[in-house]
Structures are given as structure tokens and as C-alpha cells.
């Protein structure tokens, strides 16, 4: 399907459906009428195969305790092998109600109170919270930044690890909100530094499937033929890819037996829940039958990004970070809007609900993050509002 056909078929108005993105605007932003481009989910229905599978379970009418069938594991294994060349063993897989929950657990199970945990900022705000909420010491390494482009100074990253006696690194790959898809040499340098200093790496790869032309997601576990897997745990899900966030079903891959034992002991105490039948049903159906939808959604996201870039190109000093992966675009407005005016500009003038740069790290005030997983008309309206108000300032 082309973008228009896809949107005609799958776009849905979400207002009035208890949607966090659309129905919580008043509580979150103090204005229910903003154009919502913040939280990371999409305005598109999931593939037919997912809805059919869910309908079948709903019609069955019994929602008693279930277990995870082999076919579910096989669907996850097949997808990883086919799309990312990562061969998973069923024994390594653990299923959790979301990646963020798993991050919170892992900070608890693999570090002690006051231990240092490093994150690479700007980065997804629950990475900050899962460290501080658990009374660990948050260490941030601010990436190098130049006119929209994010890179890593590996010496500076390593120095932070040494100086703070860091025990864990929570990595975001692909990176939200920088939009970077890490190259193999970048991953290897990070993994090598962490191994040298005994830092456990948690690789959050939830955006693994949403990667665009010219870029390839490389699972951290496959770097250098699996050289770093003893010191690594990978987390991913189908929730971003297929818009299934509320199905609360994610995958954690732990290759190292000792780390797996620690996980199992911890979850025995803190996660005595059975599996979510609907999550398992939805994810398995998506992975098995959602390929065409998946290829189409990537076209929609990328053309939305191009629409935004094209529409704002008359402002060469508004830096839009290149979208290598994810559907989240980070925009640097600092050359046009003073830091204390960013919220006023974005909400009151442009009528937009966005994620603000400082949510991702203190140094990143003046940036906004826009979600491209939506109808092109919404992106167009957002772009026009930004343009119109930038012109007013620039005059
Ligand atoms: C890097 C990253 N990890 C995790 C999540 C959310 O994961 P979950 O909904 O499975 O908790 C997001 C959502 O935007 C994300 O960007």
C-alpha cells in the first residue's frame, strides 16, 4: 500500500478512547485541544491478523489462566532471526509486562543501593527514573552534539565510568530521542569499554524494527559474533513496531546462565503474575502475519519525517536530527527561541503537545521531540504551525 492507502485504511481518531496521548492533554499540558505529538504510540490500527486473533480470543469468552505456548516463542525467534540475524535460544527468553518494568527490576536485581548506573543523554526519561527511583546514583554522559548530529566521545564515556565506579550501563539502541542507529563499531566500542570495567550492559532495543534506508539495526548480542553476551541483557518488544503498547508483553534475552539465575530468583519474589493472554495473542499474530503492515508503516513514518524536514528547510538553523531509526524526531529550536520561551512557543503559539528536551536530560532544554507515527495531515499541521510562528519571530 502507498502512504495514502495505508492512512485511509488504518488511521483512527483516538479522542474519547482513554488514550494517554489524546485524552490526558488537559491533565498533562493544561489544554485538551493541543495537537498531540508526544508519547510514543501511533494513530494506526494494528494489522488485521492481530485484530482477528484478538477477536477470536474475545469471542471464546473464557479468560482464565494461560501459559505461553511454544508457538509464541517460535514467532519471536523467527522474527529476530529473519530481521536482525540474531539467533535466540528459547531458554534465554523471559517475558515481561513492558520494557520499563524490566528496567526497574534489573536495576534492583543487578545493582546495590547507591551503586552508579550510567545512561547516555539525552535519553528516554524512564532510564533516569529507574535509577533514581531505586536509590542508585545516576551518572549521565552527554553525547557530543553538533547541528543535529549526535556522536559519542568514547574516552569521555569511559572516564565517566571509571570516575564513578559505574556498575551498569542502560543503552538505548536505536536511540530515543537522538534517532541514531548505532553502527557496529560504535556498539563494539561501548561494549568493550563496559566489559573492561565490569559494567553490565542492558541494551534496550525496543525500536529495533523501525530503522530506515541506509541503516541497519545490529543487536548488541551479535556484535563481534557474540563476544559480549556474558555481560549483556537485551530488551525488546513488538509494542512500538505494531502499536501494541497496552498489550504489555515484552521480551528480555539473557544468554548468560548466572545472570539468568539472578533474574529467575528475583522474579520469583517480585513477579508472581501469569501471562497476559491478550498480549501473547496479539504479539504472536503480529510477528507471524504483520510483515506487510510493518513495511507500510515504515513508509508512513519516513515520509512524515521528510514532510517535516522539507517544510522547515527555510530555517537552516532549526536542526532536525536525521531520522536513522525510531519514529521520534528531535528538533533543536535554540537558535530561534530562547530557553525560557520554549513552552510558550510550543504550546501556546504552535498548539503542540510534545516531549521537551529537558525531560531527556538537563542539558537539552530548547529541543522538542515530535512523534511521526501519525497521519501526515497531523504532521503537516504541526509543521505549518511551527513555520508560521518561527516566521513571526524571525521577522
Ligand atoms: C527506549 C524505550 N524503551 C522502552 C519504552 C517503553 O517500553 P514499555 O512500554 O514496554 O515499557 C519506550 C517507549 O517509548 C522507549 O522509547
- 319: cell is 536542526
| 236 Cα–ligand 1 center, Å | 9
What pLDDT digit, counting tens, does each position of 164-179 carry? 999 999 999 999 999 9
Q: State mean pLDDT over 288-314.
A: 98
* CA 151 to ligand 1 center in whole angstroms: 22
Interior angle at CA 219, CA 214 and CA 222, nearest 5: 115
Strands 367-371 and 328-332, how do they pair?
A: antiparallel
Stretch 271-289: mean pLDDT, rounded? Answer: 94
Using CA atoms, how far residue 330 sits from 29, 124, 137, 235, 320, in Å, is: 19, 12, 27, 23, 6
Of 20, 37, 100, 245, the residue with max ligand 1 atoms within 8 A of its CB, to mutate for a pocket test, comes to: 100
The CA 314 to ligand 1 mean position distance, Å, reads 33
Residue nearest to atom 13 of ligand 1 (CA): 40
The stretches of the chain forming alpha helices (DSSP H) are 3-10, 20-23, 25-29, 48-60, 70-84, 99-110, 125-132, 154-163, 184-196, 239-242, 257-270, 277-289, 291-311, 342-343, 376-394
Residue 73 has pLDDT above 80, yes or no: yes
Asked whether residue 3 carries a pLDDT value surpassing 80, the answer given is yes
pTM over 0.95: yes
What's the CATH code, domain 3-46+291-394?
A: 3.90.1150.10
In this prediction, residue 394 carries a pLDDT of 74
For cell 530555517, the residue is: 315
Q: Do the beta carbons of residue 333 and residue 354 sit within 8 Å?
A: no
Query: What residues does each domain of the chain span?
Result: 3-46+291-394, 52-289
Res 332: pLDDT: 98
Q: Is-contact 376 304, C-beta < 8 A? A: yes
Strands 166-172 and 200-204, bridge-based pairing: parallel
**pLDDT on residue 273:** 82
Mean pLDDT of the chain: 97
Give Cβ neighbours of residue 19 (< 8 Å, ≥ 6 apart).
none
- Ligand 1 shell residues, CB under 6 Å: 40, 98-100, 124, 172, 176, 204, 206, 237, 239, 245, 250
Domain 52-289 has CATH 2.70.70.10: no
Q: To the nearest 10°, report the CA torsion of 46, 47, 51, 57.
A: -110
pLDDT of residue 383 exceeding 80: yes
User: Does pLDDT of 135 surpass 70?
Assistant: yes
If one residue of 123, 220, 236, 240 were mutated to test the ligand 1 pocket, choosing by the most ligand atoms within 8 A of its CB, it would be 240
DSSP state of 340: G
pLDDT confidence bin for 395, thresholds 50/70/90: low
Structure confidence by residue, pLDDT tens digits, 206-251? 999 999 999 999 999 999 999 999 999 999 999 999 999 999 999 9
Q: 272 falls in which pLDDT band (50, 70, 90)?
A: confident
Return the pLDDT at 274: 80
Q: Ligand 1 centre and the CA of 174: distance in Å?
A: 12
> What's the pLDDT band for 91 if we cut at 50, 70, 90?
very high
Asked whether the predicted pLDDT for residue 128 surpasses 90, the reply is yes
Amino acid at each position: 500500500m502507498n502512504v495514502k492507502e495505508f492512512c485511509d485504511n488504518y488511521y483512527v481518531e483516538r479522542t474519547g478512547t482513554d488514550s494517554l496521548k489524546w485524552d490526558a492533554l488537559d491533565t498533562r499540558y493544561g489544554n485538551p485541544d493541543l495537537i498531540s505529538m508526544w508519547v510514543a504510540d501511533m494513530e494506526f490500527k494494528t494489522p488485521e491478523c492481530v485484530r482477528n486473533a484478538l477477536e477470536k480470543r474475545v469471542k471464546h469468552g473464557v479468560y482464565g489462566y494461560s501459559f505461553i505456548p511454544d508457538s509464541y516463542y517460535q514467532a519471536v525467534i523467527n522474527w529476530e532471526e529473519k530481521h536482525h540475524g540474531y539467533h535466540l535460544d528459547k531458554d534465554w527468553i523471559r517475558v515481561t509486562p513492558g520494557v520499563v518494568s524490566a528496567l526497574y527490576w534489573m536495576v534492583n536485581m543487578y545493582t546495590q543501593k547507591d551503586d552508579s548506573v550510567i545512561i547516555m543523554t539525552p535519553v528516554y526519561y524512564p532510564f533516569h527514573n529507574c535509577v533514581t527511583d531505586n536509590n542508585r546514583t545516576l551518572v549521565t554522559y552527554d553525547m557530543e552534539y553538533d547541528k543535529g548530529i549526535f556522536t559519542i566521545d568514547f574516552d569521555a564515556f569511559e572516564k565517566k565510568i571509571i570516575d564513578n565506579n559505574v556498575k551498569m550501563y542502560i543503552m538505548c539502541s536505536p536511540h530515543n530521542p537522538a534517532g541514531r542507529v548505532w553502527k557496529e563499531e560504535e556498539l563494539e566500542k561501548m561494549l568493550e569499554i563496559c566489559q573492561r570495567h565490569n559494567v553490565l550492559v542492558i541494551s534496550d532495543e525496543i525500536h529495533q524494527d523501525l530503522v530506515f534506508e541506509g541503516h541497519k539495526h545490529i543487536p548488541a548480542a551479535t556484535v563481534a559474533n557474540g563476544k559480549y553476551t556474558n555481560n549483556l541483557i537485551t530488551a525488546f518488544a513488538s509494542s512500538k513496531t505494531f502499536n501494541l503498547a497496552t498489550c504489555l508483553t515484552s521480551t528480555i534475552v539473557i544468554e548468560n546462565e548466572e545472570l539468568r539465575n539472578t533474574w529467575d530468583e528475583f522474579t520469583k519474589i517480585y513477579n508472581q503474575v501469569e501471562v497476559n493472554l491478550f498480549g501473547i495473542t496479539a504479539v504472536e499474530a503480529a510477528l507471524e502475519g504483520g510483515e506487510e503492515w510493518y513495511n507500510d508503516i515504515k513508509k508512513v513514518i519516513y515520509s512524515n519525517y521528510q514532510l517535516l524536514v522539507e517544510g522547515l528547510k527555510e530555517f537552516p538553523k532549526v536542526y532536525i536530527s536525521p531520522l536513522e531509526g525510531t519514529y521520534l524526531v528531535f528538533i533543536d529550536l535554540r537558535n530561534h527561541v530562547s530557553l525560557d520561551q520554549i513552552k510558550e512557543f510550543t504550546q501556546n503559539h504552535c498548539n503542540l503537545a510534545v516531549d521537551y528536551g529537558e525531560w531527556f536530560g538537563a542539558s537539552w532544554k530548547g529541543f522538542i521531540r515530535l512523534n511521526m507515527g501519525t497521519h501526515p495531515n497531523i504532521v503537516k499541521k504541526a509543521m505549518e504551525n511551527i513555520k508560521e510562528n518561527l516566521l513571526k519571530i524571525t521577522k
